[in-house]
Chain A
Amino acid sequence: MKITKKDVEHVARLARLALSEDEKARYTAPLESILEYIDKLNKVDTAHVPPTSHVLPMSNVWREDQAEPNRLGSQTDILKNAPEAEGPFFKVKKVIE
């Protein structure tokens, strides 16, 4: 599958990556080779193979419903990791709705 500069820009935008013109050009070929490989895989007959969502033969890994506040650290610890905080809140750029 042919990858254009526009495709690279679209994917970069979805991932919120700011690419320079140079980088856009540089990513075109690798993306194309990845999709070429997928094309190759697509040729395999998988009509009777269920899609693999997970590689481990496991299911129903779950826990009982028990609340344990602050088990993994306090609010202060968590807010400390935020780029910006204000009082008990995380602070972000203004979001217009």
Chain B
Amino acid sequence: MTFEPVIGLEVHVQLKTASKLFCRCPTAFGADPNSQICPICAGHPGVLPFLNKRAVELLVQAALGLGCTITPRSVFSRKQYFYPDLPKAYQISQYDLPLATGGTLEIAASDGTSKTIRIHRIHLEEDAGKLLHAIGNRELDHSLVDLNRAGIPLAECVSEPDMHTPEEAYSYLTNLKAIFQYLGISDCDMEKGSLRCDANISLRPAGHTQLGTKAEVKNLNSFKAVKEALHHEIKRQTEVLNTQGRVVQETRLWDETCGVTQSMRSKEEAHDYRYFPEPDLVPIELKTDFLSKIKASLPELPTAKKARFIQAYKLSDYDATVLVGDRLLAEYFEQAVSKAGAEVAKPMCNWITTELLGRLNAAGRPIADSPVSAEHLAQLVALVQKGTISGKTAKDVFGEMFETRQAPAAIVKSKGLVQVGDEPTITRWCDEAIAEMPHAVQEYKGGKERAIGSLVGLVMKKSQGKANPQMVNRILLKKLVP
């Protein structure tokens, strides 16, 4: 039987605040263990949580960026369970009245078109602490708790089960991250734990509408891991359905090394979190002026930027997609084009997506770290445009710029790379080439047009690559076909 996978994703993203959600402890990453804790986030008796307004604003930005409806009156709830990383024995989260519901996100569908994934809800909650089971390689016979993360503000964004392939899930995550980065609400750094993802996946017979039994996959440490784990789950669940007939509802952990998901096996009782409204925090009621202020401050988002790039700069859909995939890359492009002129938008895009990104990726550096500034790249493209250097020379200059951070003009000058464009000099080289390669001349005159290539090559050699190729071509043609 053929099955259709049904995938939904839960993404936790750390909101970029200076202090925690309910106390004034700092949120800096990488601080010494338990150096950013206080009686509130350590769950001491008698303390009261005090809501961080900025976290609410950032979550509303995310929600509006995803086209969600903001709940007029939203409340916090206690989610109760015992675990050593949760000092209060409850997590302050939201349950029946989350801050936002019902948004959408455009993704690339598997067939190459785009597709809308519905967002079920986005709510605000606090993070738990971190458990250590080993120090370096030494396995401990007890566990250690670091509460620096406890109380860090998180937005949990839950999608509807609208995805049907691991690639769609990957596209969803990529686009969601891009929006969060555009909004600046989070660093979205999976390695630092500021973006986490759990995936729900079930299979159903192709053509059916009723959902099958799902497995929840955790321990997904990269977008690539999400894709691989989902591929594995599809294979595993297909086998289970074909042999045993039914999938067990459970939480499974992705084992990156072995490339398999494994049942958590902890005797997980049916979740009974006994949510109830958090009595220590009053409701959040967001008025129109609060929301319109945030709405007005939203930056241009990827979809709108892409449409504008295609329209204003005549870029292809593909080029525009690459550029807007990263807010900083899009800004780099626009900054460079604003200096060099919109008429060079297409060559500028090529320089950025091939030469620059190629070298940055090879060096493992982000665009923010580019040794070639947008202004310098604009100057380089202008040098080619004006005919000061040839396109081929420009690539060498670019390599030098990447290594040394110098301005292109300085490199061109110090290396004597200025393109030779004066007619008498090029004419002289052309005459020499014609005299030295009578054979090529014969061939050309005999109708073999490609033979002119050898003559152009010789002229370029004589000029040490500096002759203006268009001029060389023109002058040679004039001489060969009088």
How would residues 42 to 85 of chain B score, 1 for a CB under 8 Å from any chain A CB and 0 otherwise?
10100000111111100000000000000001010000101110
Query: Do A62 and B52 touch (CB < 8 A)?
Result: yes
Residues on B close to A: CB < 8 A? Answer: 17-19, 23-27, 32-40, 42, 44, 50-56, 73, 75, 80, 82-84, 97, 131-133, 140-147, 264, 266, 272, 274, 277, 279, 281-285
For B144, give its contact among A59, A86, A97 (CB under 8 Å): A86
Chain B residues whose C-beta falls within 8 Å of the C-beta of A89 in the assembled complex: 33-34, 132, 144-146
With A14-B272, A59-B282 known to touch, is A72 a contact of B143 (CB < 8 Å)? Answer: no
Instruction: Pick from A25-33, A37-45, A73-81 the stretch touching chain B.
Output: A73-81
- List of B residues within 8 angstroms of A16 by Cβ: 82
Q: Chain B interface mostly helix, strand, loop or mixed? A: loop
Tell me the smallest distance from the CB of B463 to a CB of chain A, in Å.
62
When distances are taken between beta carbons in the complex, the residues of chain B under 8 Å from A78 are 34, 37-39, 42, 44
Complex CA distance for A16 and B282, rounded to whole angstroms: 29
Residue of A nearest to B53 (CB): A62
27 A-B pairs whose Cβ atoms sit less than 8 Å apart in the complex: A53-B277, A54-B282, A56-B282, A58-B282, A59-B73, A59-B282, A59-B284, A61-B50, A61-B51, A61-B282, A63-B50, A63-B52, A63-B53, A65-B53, A67-B26, A68-B19, A69-B36, A70-B38, A86-B142, A87-B33, A88-B146, A89-B132, A90-B84, A90-B147, A91-B144, A95-B84, A95-B143
**A67 contact from B19, B50, B145, B284, Cβ within 8 A:** B19
Contacts of B141 in A (CB 8 A): 94
Interface size on A, residues (CB 8 A): 37
Contact B140 A65 (CB under 8 A): no
Once the chains are docked, how many angstroms separate the CA of A53 from the CA of B78?
A: 12
Q: CB of A66 within 8 A of chain B? A: yes
Number of A-B contacts (CB under 8 A): 126
CB-CB under 8 A from B145, the residues of chain A are: 89-92
Q: What CA separation (Å) do A70 and B41 show in the bound complex?
A: 12
A88 to B33 alpha-carbon distance, docked (Å): 6
| Docked CA distance A67–B140 (Å) | 34
A interface vs B, CB < 8 Å?
Answer: 14, 16, 53-54, 56, 58-73, 75, 78-79, 81, 86-97
**A90–B44 CA distance with the chains assembled, in angstroms:** 14
> Could you say which of B32, B53, B140 contacts A88, with CB atoms under 8 Å apart?
B32
Residues of A within 8 A of B284 (CB): 59-60
Complex Cα distance, B37 from A87, in Å, reads 15
Bound state CA distance, A89 and B84, in angstroms?
Answer: 12
Query: Closest residue to B285 on the A side, CB-wise?
Result: A59
Interface pair B283/A59, CB less than 8 Å apart: yes
Bound form: Cα–Cα A53–B281 in Å: 10
| Max count, chain B CB within 10 A of own CB: residue among A65, A70, A72, A94 | A65
With a cutoff of 8 Å between Cβ atoms, the chain A residues found around residue B44 in the complex are 78, 81
* A67 with B25, Cβ < 8 A, contacts A53-B277, A62-B53, A88-B32 known: yes
Contact B34 A88 (CB under 8 A): yes
Chain B residues with CB under 8 Å of A60's CB are 282, 284-285
Nearest-CB residue, chain A, relative to B16: A65
- Determine which of B23, B37, B55, B281 lies in contact with A75 in the assembled complex, contact meaning CB atoms within 8 Å: B37
